[in-house]
Chain A
Amino acid sequence: MEGSSPKAERKFSSQDVVKFLIQNKAAVLLLILCVVLSFVSPYFLTAKNLINVVRQASVLAIMGIGFTLLLSSGSMDLSVGDLMAMTGVVIAILDAKIGVHPVLCMLAGVLVSVTGLCLNTFLVQTFKLPGFILTLATGMVYQGILWLISGGQSISGISDTLKFIGQGEIFRIPVQIYLLAVILIFMTVLLRRTEFGRHSLAMGGNLDSARVCGINITRNKYIIAVIMGACTAVAAMVTTGRAASAQLTAGSGTAMDTIAAVVIGGTPMEGGIANVPGTLVGCLLIQVISNGLNLLDVNSNWHKVAKGVIIVVAIILDVQGTKILNRFRMKSKAE
């Protein structure tokens, strides 16, 4: 590892290995966890359990993939969890209590989520507020509305169409996996291959620069709100359908889990870079932690502790990993 060794020999040095490990920390953690769990619990590696994990992770992943766009474009939104729960309740009320056609219910759900996110965007953009604080407040508003319109009761009697989205299978694969796949492909292509994606990342990377380059920031922020809103609504449909009722507490902790999954997956908090597949891995990681603790019959309060610890570890890896990578970059610059 001396500076004098010829370049060709260094092509696959320990440097590259470290770099790979840091960039794919979520996958590495997931792999380690899976190996450990497969030894500790005989039930872990069964098809039934794994499908269950994926099914549970899919809601988080649908949110997370939308959030990857939001975060990498330099925005922050803590209200998405509450908004998802509120949307679920609106869908359930329209579907179960009023008897509106399920397709219209879903459209209404999309409308509710999109409106909520656009409202956040409007307030942030118009009054130049920090999104972090503002969405903490609007999240509270959405949660309040959810309790008001539901009257504090979870809403059951969901129609079969909605249940199908949360519970049904096509070719023995859960419906939400298809939805997730569509969103995953959509977002990957959007961020990697389109002008809009590049512009969004530029906004996250350097908002002032993006403005000077003639990018219409306000318009793009609204488009991002619409996309995130659509993801939130789909997540709400799946959650409601899976439980066959609208859960009032469905949104609690969702925003935190989503952010954690996105950041563990390699999308930095400050934006400018997006890692969509990483988000998927991050979601699986969080879900496997819960699943593992369940299998080991650990008190569910420990789940929160474990999740918190993992998030702390992920953030440390994120910040320190960036530092280490920067040192590598300095080195290649010096060359």
Chain B
Amino acid sequence: MERETLLHVKNVSKSFLGVKALDKVSLEVKKGEVHGVIGENGAGKSTLMNIIFGSLPRDEGEILLQGRPVSFANPADAIAAGISMIHQETRLVQQFTASENIWLGAEKLFSSHGFTDNKKRDAASRELLSSLGLELPSDKRVCDVSAAQMQLIEVARAVATKAKLIIMDEPTSSLSEREVAALFKIIRSLADQGVSIVFISHKIDEIIQICDRVSIYRDGKYIRTSDIAETSAEEIIRAVVGRELSGIFPKVEAEIGEPVLEVRGLTRQGVFEDVSFSVRKGEILGFSGLAGAGRSEVMQAIFGIDPLDRGEIYVEGRKVAIKHPSDAVRLGFGMVTEDRLRKGIIAKFSVASNISIVRLRDFCTRAVHFIRRRQENAKVDETIRMMQIKASSPEQRIDSLSGGNQQKAIIGRWIMTNPKILILDEPTRGIDVGSKSEIHRLMGEFVKQGMAVILISSELPEVLGMADRIVVMREGRAVFECDRKDATQELIGKYALG
């Protein structure tokens, strides 16, 4: 049965100061369809969505909504026409309650004489939220709810505005697997009610799982739209990157040696408890678990970012005290944090300065620490080459690079310190498929050189593909540990969910 077309974007182009960000791009979304949108960072997905949503003007092309040409001057117009957008970072007012957020801008539905009937509004919110499977006290502030709940509140808000089309920009990037499943159920039921969903994601398995069709974009160009039933993950990856990938997770076998790091009974009250594990030379130790299971928190405590209440840390058999990240750096730790923007890059610094910041002392004169620029630049160039960072110049500002290249620079920052233990916390989250596979290849190189790598990832296939051994955490405890050969998705999932 052929469904009617809800949104038709035809040959839209957009240039920023003479450079084409979108080149005659198309998108056709049918009524009641979940339509996947995939492409590397910089492929033009966000620009396209911002044009549809009225945040950006287009240079040429047309947009038809239910057959009628439309041109939204701003998001408010788009929302009035039935298009909602859920951004990657939440746009909710943190100090407001869920209910206040849902009806923000639509208070007059519950108003008389300029006064809002809060009780009536909250009742409507409760009904709406419970229909989405989310029970929340109506007076709970948004800043006190989890990322997944915020996501659902945003969905509720879109439903409240009677959206015909909801654009979701990487809605799952901060959700655990269980939360993703819950979100998918809601997406499905919305689609069954005739709402169309545009689902932007980097995760191919999610696209395959939830979408009816997928449109692929590359370098500002529309590549094609495929029925999910008639395509495969490999085919999508090929279209996204435009080149063959030699397997998604190219695991390199490395010789595994003596334990480098051993921790016993690590406890931070109310966050994690009695966590013990060890990692050996040449080994990749994977950490799996739901978001909020305490994996990142354990690593941050080991690295001296957060305090530790109890527990012992041994590096190469010697007991050590780590009170500050500088202690960890001195002991040979490297740490790529989960949040690249908040705790990773220094946005205003050049690529070079971002890379050399930890090991600056190596290029400094002895007494007064003057930086020897030539030495610094030489070492930075070497790192950029090794990490295959695509930058026009090392002096380019790091925030002008794509997410994947930023991440490679941050990893390079630590590789330059020659660490014994490298902690990678969600190193491939939210970056394009090409960079992702390069980071996986580099991890193989690192362990081959005798480094010990700790990999935290919420993506099960990544952990299963890369790690030699896997520790599963749940509610602040390490509940399960197994070797690569014994690990299956089902087994890990069982322990992670409890």
Given the complex of chains A and B, what is the CA–CA distance between A328 and B20 in angstroms? 13
Which stretch from A102-110, A192-200, A249-257 is at the chain B interface? Answer: A192-200
Interface string of A1-39 (1 = CB under 8 A from B): 111000000000001000000000000000000000000
B342 at the interface (CB under 8 A from A): yes
Q: How far is the CA of A213 from the CA of B303 in the complex (A)?
A: 10
**Complex alpha-carbon distance, A214 and B369, angstroms:** 16
Q: Tell me if B335 and A272 are in contact (CB < 8 A).
A: no
Q: A194-B370, A215-B326 are in contact. Are A208 and B342 (CB under 8 A)?
A: yes
A216 to B361, CA, bound (A): 13
**Nearest CB of A to B367, in Å:** 11
Contact B305 A212 (CB under 8 A): yes
Docked-complex contact A272 and B370, CB < 8 angstroms: no
Q: Which of A199, A210, A211, A327 contacts B17 (CB 8 A)?
A: A327
CA distance A215 to B397 in the complex (A): 21
**Do the beta carbons of B325 and A211 come within 8 Å of each other?**
yes
Nearest chain A residue, comparing its CB with the CB of B335 = A212
Contacts of B362-397 to chain A: CB distance below 8 A: 364, 368-371, 392, 396-397
Are A214 and B329 in contact, with the CB atoms below 8 A?
A: yes
A216 to B328, CA, bound (A): 12
For residue B136, CB closer than 8 A to chain A, the reply is no
**Contact size range, A:** 35 or more
Q: Is A202 an interface residue (CB 8 A)?
A: yes
Residues 319-347 of B, flagged 1 when their CB comes within 8 A of A and 0 if not, give: 00000111011100001010000111111
A153, CB-defined interface residue at 8 Å = no
Contact A202:B346 (CB < 8 A) given known A211-B325, A213-B325? yes
Query: For the complex, would chain A's binding face be called helix, strand, loop or mixed by DSSP majority?
Result: helix
Chain B interface bracket (under 10, 10 to 19, 20 to 34, 35 or more): 35 or more
Partner of A206 from the list B347, B360, B401 (CB cut-off 8 Å) is B347
Q: Are B361 and A195 in contact (CB under 8 A)?
A: yes
Q: Which residues of A contact B397 (CB under 8 A)?
A: 329
Chain B residue at minimum C-beta to C-beta distance from A1: B18
Cross-chain contact B19 with A3 (CB below 8 angstroms): yes
Asked if B400 CB lies within 8 Å of chain A CBs, one says yes
Does B66 sit at the interface, judged by CB under 8 A?
no
A335: CB under 8 A from chain B? yes
Q: Are A213 and B357 in contact (CB under 8 A)?
A: yes
Q: A193-B371, A194-B370, A331-B17 are in contact. Are A214 and B343 (CB under 8 A)?
A: no
Q: Are A209 and B343 in contact (CB under 8 A)?
A: yes
A216 touches B326 (CB 8 A): yes
Binary flags per residue of A255-278, CB closer than 8 Å to B gives 1, else 0? 000000000000000001100000
Enumerate chain B residues within 8 angstroms of A211, measured Cβ to Cβ: 305, 325
Known: A193-B371, A194-B371, A272-B347. Contact between A327 and B329, CB under 8 A? Answer: no
- What are 16 A-B residue pairs whose CB atoms fall within 8 Å in the complex? A3-B15, A194-B369, A199-B360, A201-B348, A202-B346, A205-B346, A209-B343, A211-B325, A212-B305, A213-B358, A214-B324, A215-B326, A330-B17, A330-B19, A334-B20, A335-B392
Residues of B within 8 A of A (CB): 15-21, 303, 305, 324-326, 328-330, 335, 337, 342-349, 353, 357-358, 360-361, 364, 368-371, 392, 396-397, 400-401, 413
